[in-house]
Amino acid sequence: MRVVIAEDLALLRDGLVRLLSASGFEVVEAVDNGPMLLGALTRHRPDVAVIDVRLPPTLTDEGLRVALEARRQRPGLPVLILSQYVEQLYARELLSDQAGAVGYLLKDRIGDVDQFVDAVRRVAAGGTAMDSEVIGQLLTRRRSDEPLGRLTPREREVLALMAEGLSNAAIAARLLVTDKAIAKHINNILTKLGLPPSDDHNRRVMAVLAYLEAEPG
């Protein structure tokens, strides 16, 4: 699997290259600024790009802007944005094209190597990887939402993990229950939230995220 990395701090860039190479990825290019990233994305057409949100020359949200621009040129180009902080506004912008294949994670998560590598693979495969912090904020913001209030505590846990983008099997493994139990929970959740059932897991995740993203009240 071919990956482009964009990170301006050499320490972290080298770490990412080492980590992803050791996990079976082929790092085709590792850049340290926005304009070079755009060039690398067009040149290599990688299976996935791992991008730091803050990049030179502006040292603002350059990475995110380049990622969005690249996805405008090539819809559905898998990008995973890394950041020292998560901002719902940015999550919304990444998700707004409904094309999936996006990730938005705190840099902290790289420390959990297995889960991080899993997230990169998921995004490359067209899935999503939203930080638990983003999902937590979305759920807090909608705490007075009535359909959400009808979920059982277990269903809320499943909903949160599902919104992060985890597969049924991964959710089952986290919660130490069977895949079948998770499938049942997910059906209940979709019914209670009034979302259409679907066999496509990615589509279900996008529907759930769109629901959580909508204005509260």
Partner 1 sequence: MRRMAAPVAGLLLNAAAGVAAWVLLVLLAGCAALVPVRGLGVRPLARVRSWTHGLAAFQLARADRALGHEPAAPESAHAQEPRENAHARETAWLALQAVTGPGGVVLIVGVLSAEAVIWHLPTARPSIQLTVALSLAVVAIGAVAVAAVPLLHRTQARLAELLLRPGDTDRVRQLTESRAAAVSAQAAELRRIERDLHDGAQARLVSVRMTLGLARRASDPAQVRELVGEAWESAGQALIDLRDLVNGIHPPVLADRGLAGAVEAAALHVPLTVDVDVDLPARLEAPVESAVYFAAAEALTNAAKHSRAQRAWVRLRHSEGVLRLVVGDDGRGGADPRGTGIDGIGRRLSVFDGTLDVRSPAGGPTEFIVEIPCALSSQKISPS
Give least dist CB 158 to partner 1, A.
22
Contact flags string 140-159 toward partner 1, x per CB under 8 A: xxxxx---------------
Judged by CB, which is closer to partner 1: 196, or 217? 217
Residue among 180, 155, 157 nearest 168 (CA): 180
The size of the interface with partner 1 (CB under 8 A), counted in residues, is 23
Give least dist CB 150 to partner 1, A.
17
Give least dist CB 87 to partner 1, A.
5
Residue whose structure tokens are 């759920």: 139
How far are the Cα atoms of 104, 214, 215 from residue 149, in angstroms, in the given order? 26, 16, 16
Residue whose structure tokens are 């991964």: 170
Judged by CB, which is closer to partner 1: 31, or 212? 212
* Alpha-carbon torsion angle 162, 120, 91, 140, nearest 10: 40
Based on the shown chain and the rule CB under 8 A, indicate whether residue 210 belongs to the binding site for partner 1: no
Beta bridge partners of 51: 6, 81
Site for partner 1 in 60-119 (CB under 8 A): 60-61, 65, 84-85, 87-89, 92, 106-108, 111
Judged by CB, which is closer to partner 1: 32, or 87? 87
Give least dist CB 184 to partner 1, A.
29
Residue 214 near residue 138, CB atoms below 8 Å = no
Q: Report the residue from 23, 132, 137, 202 that binds partner 1 according to the rule CB under 8 A.
A: 137
Judged by CB, which is closer to partner 1: 2, or 141? 141
How far are the Cα atoms of 94, 95, 135, 146, 194 from residue 142, in angstroms, in the given order? 20, 18, 11, 9, 16
What whole-number distance in Å separates Cα of residue 147 and Cα of residue 194?
8
The beta strands (E) that lie in 21-156 are given as 26-31, 48-52, 79-83, 102-106, 128-130
Give least dist CB 50 to partner 1, A.
18
Window contacting partner 1 (CB under 8 A); options: 23-31, 133-141, 180-188, 191-199: 133-141
Judged by CB, which is closer to partner 1: 199, or 215? 215
What whole-number distance in Å separates Cα of residue 28 and Cα of residue 2?
6
Q: Which residues here bind partner 1, judged by CB under 8 A?
A: 54, 60-61, 65, 84-85, 87-89, 92, 106-108, 111, 137, 140-144, 215-217
